[in-house]
Chains A and B, each alone.
Chain A
């Protein structure tokens, strides 16, 4: 699993305390939204060309939610805890649902570290690897510097003078993964479903800093659009799809019908029916 870090790391980003922790959600809402794409449309065209129904094309199954039974949507979202030390003890809580115990995570990562006239840049996670200069070391007065020592520490990197420079970090980052699980009941009165809107959930982590004072970080979870779709009302739960007369005389006498659940796209029943 790879995590996007599109913004290079610059100096003085994090708190100055030596003991810290940072929350990050695995799912990132970005410009690449979860809408219908060209490949979805081409898939539907392909299905129609071979006599299947474009209607019954189901986009990628939402990997963050699934239907359990007929009324319960179970949502699972992963978060990361990036601590200043792997021995940091912390408490983690979530407003809604449950949160799993820690799972140690070590992942490959590469990114730029930018020095802008400083001699220290904090890193957002525990990093173990190499730092390679990508340009000459230049002093704030525009003088090229030679023989600059780059000294990496677990959560920051230093140079022996104030410099302008970019280092490329290549190595591994270490932290913890937790899974937040929410079981949301959509059943209402008279067996009618209702929709769940504006789902909000916040994770809070607390720890003691080097002075023994409690510190915290919180994260409001980003809800993926496909999850919001699963939480929406499923009117009648059915949608009829019609497939062309595959392998049969297409004289309009009958048609192949697929009934599927419009909430999760799972086919419920497929059969030939008279076109009356």
Chain B
């Protein structure tokens, strides 16, 4: 049986309403490298210091004027859910709503149910990897229909296979600003975000940028701190391995490889 590898197989978007209860609460990730100083940043900084230049750099401590900015994401399972938000320390903004597209891969290993991370508002596509699935005997099988309810993805039969699910989800976004407390015991930025609605509560311990508590304790920032955070990949470069010589002949007139 030939299989069109690009076929999106039958999807049954269930008519059952989304789970009316429940919220997923998340903190926005800091940009990659926040709070870290790479060796290149270090060299740039030294160059600027030695030669009185301003070459600029990519150092982002994540902290500005003793506070850090981030965001709280609230993903309600029921888009109409009415809830309240707050922080135990810091400031939270008005909030706005947005739809985002999420792509996830689900690995089925002879099971019939998996979950995606967020509530699904609209399923865009669900594609089996290479269009292949296998049954319990190891033989290829017809990829089954996929049913999505809330964040549950279910199949009518057990198979092996990988499905890439692309979907839209809905969230509220709240900007947060967490200033440092006047304390030097390493708890300056401790804060908990919370959401509550008629039926439940969710809390989230917020995380400051890496090194922020230590910097606050020491009274320096990541530019002037006596200790430099370096990324694990920032170690000494791996010396190049031996390689065979390669000879390439170029036609000078045509500027083409011969």
Give residues in A with beta carbon < 8 Å to B. Answer: 2-8, 30-42, 45, 60, 108-112, 114, 116-117, 134-136, 138-144, 164, 166, 168
Contacts and interface: CB of A to CB of B under 8 A. Distances in A.
B89 interface: yes
B49 interface: yes
B132 interface: no
Given A39-B226, A110-B185, A134-B88, A30 B46 contact: no
A37 B228 contact: yes
Given A32-B229, A42-B49, A164-B201, A142 B196 contact: yes
A38 B192 contact: no
B196 A138 contact: yes
B214 interface: yes
A45 B199 CA distance: 62
B185 A164 contact: no
A220 to B, nearest CB: 22
B225 A38 contact: yes
A41 to B, nearest CB: 6
B201 A38 contact: no
A164 B210 CA distance: 27
A142 B227 contact: no
A116 B201 CA distance: 9
Contact of A31 (B88, B199, B211, B226): B211
A112 B190 contact: yes
Contacts of A164: 194, 196, 201, 203
26 contacts: A2-B185, A4-B185, A4-B186, A4-B187, A4-B217, A6-B213, A8-B190, A30-B214, A31-B210, A31-B229, A32-B225, A33-B229, A36-B228, A38-B37, A38-B225, A110-B187, A111-B187, A112-B187, A112-B192, A114-B203, A114-B205, A138-B201, A139-B201, A144-B196, A164-B196, A166-B194
Contacts of A40: 226
B183 interface: yes
**Shortest Cβ-Cβ A-B pairs, 10 listed:** A4-B186, A134-B88, A164-B201, A166-B88, A39-B226, A37-B226, A37-B227, A32-B227, A37-B228, A32-B214
Interface of B: 37, 42, 45-46, 49-50, 86-89, 181, 183-187, 190, 192, 194, 196-201, 203, 205, 210-211, 213-214, 217, 223-230
Tell me if B's interface is mostly helix, strand, loop or mixed: loop
Contact of B186 (A6, A34, A36): A6
B218 to A, nearest CB: 8
A140 B201 contact: yes
Nearest to B208: A6
Contacts of A168: 88
A3 B186 contact: yes
A260 B244 CA distance: 46
Given A2-B185, A33-B227, A109-B185, A141 B190 contact: no
Nearest to A38: B228
Contact of A2 (B45, B89, B197, B217): B217
A43 to B, nearest CB: 9
A41 B41 CA distance: 13
B224 to A, nearest CB: 7
Nearest to B230: A35
A35 B89 contact: no
B186 A135 contact: no
A108 B227 contact: no
Contacts of A117: 201
Most buried by A among B42, B88, B205, B225: B88
Given A6-B213, A114-B203, 14 more contacts: A5-B185, A32-B214, A33-B227, A36-B228, A37-B225, A38-B223, A110-B183, A110-B185, A111-B190, A112-B88, A134-B88, A135-B86, A135-B88, A142-B201
A113 to B, nearest CB: 10
Contact of B49 (A45, A139, A166): A45
Given A38-B42, A45-B50, A135-B86, A166 B185 contact: no
A142 B200 contact: yes
A101 B203 CA distance: 43
A97 to B, nearest CB: 28
Contacts of A144: 196
Nearest to A169: B187
Contacts of B199: 141-142
A35 B205 contact: no
A40 B45 CA distance: 13
